[in-house]
Amino acid sequence: MGKACFLVCLAILLANAETLVGRALLAQKTCPPPGFSSAQPFNLLSFIDGPWYVQKQVTTTYTPENFLYCVRANYIPIAGPGDLSKGVFVNNYSNKDRVNGMAATTSKSQGGLQLYATVPNATVPSQLQVGPYFGDNGVTTAVSSVSIKMSGQAANYWVVATDSSSSDPLFAGYEWAIITTRPPTIPSGDGCRTGSADGGIADVAQRGFWWFTRQQEAPAAALEALRKKSLVSPLTWHPPLLGRYRPRLHMCVSPMLHKNSSQLNAWSHAERKLLSVFRD
């Protein structure tokens, strides 16, 4: 009896010690982790050359959990194919409550608030800012990121990891990417996360983390690579990622997205509004 009690007490003490050590380490955690930055080198034209499908993400103020169906993103150079001087239109799309449910979009042609992105520092093209687009009217223009900053509605958009590097001699484009709104500054669990330490709406508004894949039905290898990359410091994130794409069970229908940005200007307005089922 005495030996059994001793072992039980020892186990309890060790568990408490482990908890205290874990809390101490968490308190001492440096967030963002040393060396955290966006992907470099990075080819923005290759990144926007076709639609991206969101496999998992954290919820945000503009994408609550019930909108996490058939989520995809498309980026179109405002000045024309291959020209990033005026930024890029950001066309996000998702469904509410169910696959092919009510559409939510940031495309003006589809009834949404048009967003656009610019690169504040041309030497770091993987760090963009996104905000509302009001047109090149001489008051608020798309020529620089100044208009985004002045609107007070800027959001950071960092591409922090990709499957390949544009410096690779065999580089042929990106197949997956990890996107965040900002560096992860808040200790959480065994890692760091984006958001606000104040909690509440501010926390939800300032966090953002997405898994992008080029294919609608992501290959298992791509999902595993995203998972592993997200678990390796400095890319450990909380809260848990959510995803409701489920392409194996449902085929999502959405307004046509181009496979190559150079094709867009050749399409008529009517063609852009056609519905297309994506089959990769």
**What pLDDT does residue 152 have?**
46
**What pLDDT does residue 272 have?**
29
**What pLDDT does residue 12 have?**
54
**What pLDDT does residue 7 have?**
53
- Does domain 36-277 correspond to CATH entry 3.40.190.10? no
74 pLDDT exceeds 90? Answer: yes
65 pLDDT exceeds 80? Answer: yes
**What pLDDT does residue 194 have?**
82
Domain boundaries, the chain: 1-30, 36-277
**What pLDDT does residue 159 have?**
96
pLDDT in tens, 115-159: 999 999 999 999 999 988 887 643 333 333 333 333 445 688 999
DSSP the chain: -HHHHHHHHHHHHHHHHHHHHHHHHHHH--SSPTT----SS--HHHHTSS-EEEEEE---SSS-GGG-EEEEEEEEETTSTT--TT-EEEEEEEEESSTT-EEEE--GGGTS--EEEE-SSTT-TTEEEEEE---SSSSS-SSSTHHHHHHT--EEEEEEEESS-TTSTT----SEEEEESS---EEETTEEE-S-TT-HHHHHHH--EEEEESSSS--HHHHHHHHHHHHSTT----S--B----TTT---EEE---SSGGGGGGS-HHHHT-EEE---
pLDDT in tens, 190-217: 778 888 777 777 776 677 889 999 998 8
